[in-house]
Structure 1
């Protein structure tokens, strides 16, 4: 394992009871696990987290699940049964954090809602992740990433100009909500160190996505303007856009009159910088179609590498448009150690991608792991919940674990 990206033990000694599934909750708890927290992931016996059924698969194991549930302990408990809920209640006093992402109301029906759990463990940080929050008029709606992208306005801003609303090519609502949840959980944990008081952390996917859209919000809240899709270009500044070359696309961030003047020199058309149609950002926006054609004619005759180098040498921010293969194979990913070699009990070595924040003075940790379904059930019940062999055998015999 690359020591530069080894897990920081900043949360060593913190235990997390992870009752979440699929993506937003597991992403939150994976970040906590990366920082050294002990994460006990509770899954249904037999089927496990629904994420285990998501492809692609490697020898029957979900690679999606492995990337998302690194460094966790898998414990199978049927929370629909009274015995299963008793197991959860036995674990709660031993945990610092509980994370759940059920629809609001489900945990109350299970008798594991925040007020009930707080009676068992007054200092626990109870983090609830949902689509719309615990008190929204929409709280009963099912929330999936695409639903939230649609309602957040993000899809309305994404895609080609004049085209249909388009989803971002990753489950960004799930991922970003998981990050906000980790942030809120750690803030509440820090507060508990000073006040001794546990908190309920309520994180909504729709709220999270709204909070991220600063450009669109600035236009809507301050200019009473409803933005529309603009393709790859910046909604205000031009030319900040992507262009085709003979070997792939490039992006350029020509953000000022000075940068545009440098671009005009590169194109062999220095007079464009003084042309009233292009001499200011406002004018360049008004004549975008014409300017785009002139720039595209220049980039279209050169390679991706040549255009990128020319722009960078001229002081204009630029980059090639990489696919996933180019990213993973890049010198940057290798130097930063962004892909770690982890371990799976049956698959052996597997590639994993931990949270990316680096900390000074970080000591190398053991190689990250990804759990098989129920791999840690008996150990956790014995060591954390205080169950003996008789109880474990009874729970296994009646299908609770």
Structure 2
């Protein structure tokens, strides 16, 4: 569909903000050149391409696409159509994921209970859950806390509220605590005075990858830098965020109790006598807080369900026995539940679709020792092709 006059105006108005947000400073000369700017905007208009929709993608994805578009315009104009197709494909993928997420998501723990008459032990806390928990927490004069919010989805109004809170903390020399979520994971940003200096830090709970940040933690750090820059904290985090400290307890070994850990961290800071709660105890607190008294279950223990091995496709009885035996051998309940989930997903996918069903350009077994990645193929995709060929080589797959 052709761009309307309003969309064309928006394209022109949002061109520079896109450049500033998604193009490295040293590469912005190309984008700021008036001739290049006019050519890119006109190309978008001619091809019905709403470049401003880049903001709907993950920051890393948007930056990659902008970088590739610069190369296409500079040296590879024959690839313009391919770039346009990839851009639209990523937007469609993002839109589909968002619809699926909203379709399957619960607004809160109480919402989950009201719709299913049960609550999973593995429930990930929502923004509403976190707001209710922080509203139900004690406070102290020395720590200023914001409402929980999404780093990348914060509205202009939310950013302004946070900015005022930060300014107050600076003026009154108080610690600032920002509970935030990014990419489905809860953590917090903290600003405190250390040795007469105001220091910003990212406080996480997931382990490092040996001594390095995991890809998700890299993304969290990047999103934190971007957010703090938008609320005027460049002076304290550095021009490129080099002064932003990343710390983690490394204690979270499951994918779901990050929110509870953030709540416990805050409550422990404001009350030295606070008794840390387990994730299940936090879920119980939410049910008791969010549900009207008349709707609360008589026996709250009967509400919680553990995920068992569930096969959506026919699986031999012997296979189920092997799975449950393997699951039961895991050291603790959290690991057993996570292991069961992973095995369930793997078995369902393998039986239904076949192992490595998405591999298209298969490697010949005889070329395994000399195989190399295709042009533009990622290390991960090449590794999958190697694994698929190895499985065929030893007879685990036909």
Greater per-residue helix proportion: 2
TM-score past 0.5 threshold: no
Structure with more contact order per residue of length (Cα contacts < 8 Å, sep ≥ 6): 1
Q: Quick check: which one's strand share is greater?
A: 1
TM-score by length of 1: 0.24
